[in-house]
Amino acid sequence: MGPPAWPSPVSSTAHTDSDFMTERNGSFFHLHLVSDSTGETLITVARAATAQYDSVSAIEHVYPLVRTQKQLERVLVEIEESPGIVLYTLLEGPLTVRLEAKCQEFGVPCMSILGPVLRLLQSYLGAESNPRVGAQHELNAEYFRRIDALNFTMLHDDGQNTDEFEDADVVLLGISRTSKTPTSIYLANRGVKTGNYPLVPGVPLPSHLERLQKPLVVGLFASPERIVQIRQNRLLGLRADRTDDSYIDRHAVAEEIAFSRKLFVRNNWPIIDVTRRSIEETAAAVLALLAERRRHPEQTS
């Protein structure tokens, strides 16, 4: 397989100090992310850091699978063309040396994301690391556990195959637009088999779902205003004309939420308010509940 198909590099041109300062002190800056693997770790860390700055935006240049000097040279051309911050996760010594030397020559900051962590581990463990590119993506038991969880979750989405919910690790319940499906998929990517079921007022919950023993059952809800907003946006996206429908009527939605919360309380299921939570934050809350349940299995009813 050839090198990744990044934009073709163009002839390098000189950048003056004033050009660099205008970009850096303006409303944007260039952020170069160089990885010898998929770049997922690097992107996550970079976005978590840049999200702390409201007045400036990062223009991301992502270069995954950089494993040869030829591939690195193409990256260096683009860094010189659009100078900015360079963050990298490269484990091959020659590549690291070349990247850092050229960044110093260009006058741009350059830092390894993994370097400080590896040095800390080495200091604490008293052992040298054994660099392996993409080690976290090996086809090991953990990888196949995640694939199995994804398969299960897709087959048990939106109330499908509820008779198999007892085999799940987590079951999410909630009315329409409480982020059940995306949260389920996120959990599955963490190796958690997840089923979800939509609650509809007037439609009884299948009795066997109230008797689930193995999975952690979690109720999701949001404020009426938030649910109405999401549903209206969805209808706009679908170009559906349901303006008089109870689907987006605030009072009707409030009754749906009240109905769902009474069900959660009656069954003593933990409840998560997703009104202001991202999918990642909701999933983190579910994982915390699951970890607590596994630490104290004797409390499982």
Per-residue confidence (pLDDT) for residue 273, from 0 to 100 = 98
Domain boundaries, the chain: 17-125, 141-299
Per-residue confidence (pLDDT) for residue 22, from 0 to 100 = 44
Would 17-125 and 141-299 be classified into the same CATH topology? yes
Residue 184 annotated as part of some ligand binding site: no
Phi, psi of 232 (to 5 degrees): -65, -45
Distance CA(219)–CA(282), nearest Å, equals 11
Among 66, 161, 46, 177, residue whose Cα is nearest residue 113:
46
Mean pLDDT, to the nearest integer, of 210-227? 97
Assigned token pair, 1? 């397989």
Mean pLDDT, to the nearest integer, of 79-107? 95
Name the helix (H) or strand (E) containing 31: strand 28-35
CB 219 within 8 A of CB 174: yes
Residue 176 annotated as part of some ligand binding site: yes
> CB-based burial of residue 264 (10 Å sphere; 0-12 exposed, 13-18 middle, 19+ buried)?
buried
CB 175 within 8 A of CB 260: yes
Distance CA(139)–CA(158), nearest Å, equals 30
Mean pLDDT, to the nearest integer, of 113-141? 74
pLDDT at residue 121 is higher than 60: yes
Distance CA(171)–CA(166), nearest Å, equals 9
Assigned token pair, 100? 């850092």
Class at the top of the CATH hierarchy for domain 141-299: alpha beta
Per-residue confidence (pLDDT) for residue 157, from 0 to 100 = 97
How do residues 251-284 score in pLDDT, each as one tens digit? 999 999 999 999 999 999 999 999 999 999 999 9
DSSP assignment, residue 176? T
Residue 174 annotated as part of some ligand binding site: yes
pLDDT at residue 180 is higher than 50: yes
The packing angle between helices 250-266 and 224-238, to 10°, is 120
Assigned token pair, 204? 């009884």
Residue 145 annotated as part of some ligand binding site: no
CA–chain centroid gap for 193, Å, is 17
Least confident of 65-69, 145-149, 206-210, 238-242: 238-242
Per-residue confidence (pLDDT) for residue 140, from 0 to 100 = 67
Number of C-alpha atoms within 13 angstroms, CB side, residue 180? 28
Residue 179 annotated as part of some ligand binding site: yes
Mean pLDDT, to the nearest integer, of 150-159? 96
> CB-based burial of residue 197 (10 Å sphere; 0-12 exposed, 13-18 middle, 19+ buried)?
buried
| Reported confidence tier of residue 130, pLDDT bands at 50, 70, 90 | low
How far apart, in Å, are the Cα atoms of 131 and each of 39, 119, 120, 243? 16, 13, 15, 59
Cβ of 5: how many Cβ atoms within 10 Å?
Answer: 6
pLDDT at residue 61 is higher than 90: yes
Q: Which fold has domain 17-125?
A: Rossmann fold (3.40.50)
When comparing pLDDT for 136 and 48, which is higher?
48
This prediction's pTM: 0.70
What's 180-239 look like in SS3?
HHHHHHHHHHCCCCEEEEECCCCCCCCHHHHHCCCCEEEEEECCHHHHHHHHHHHHHHHC
Q: What is the rounded average pLDDT for all residues in the chain?
A: 87
Residue 180 annotated as part of some ligand binding site: yes
How far apart, in Å, are the Cα atoms of 251 and each of 164, 233, 248, 276? 35, 18, 9, 20
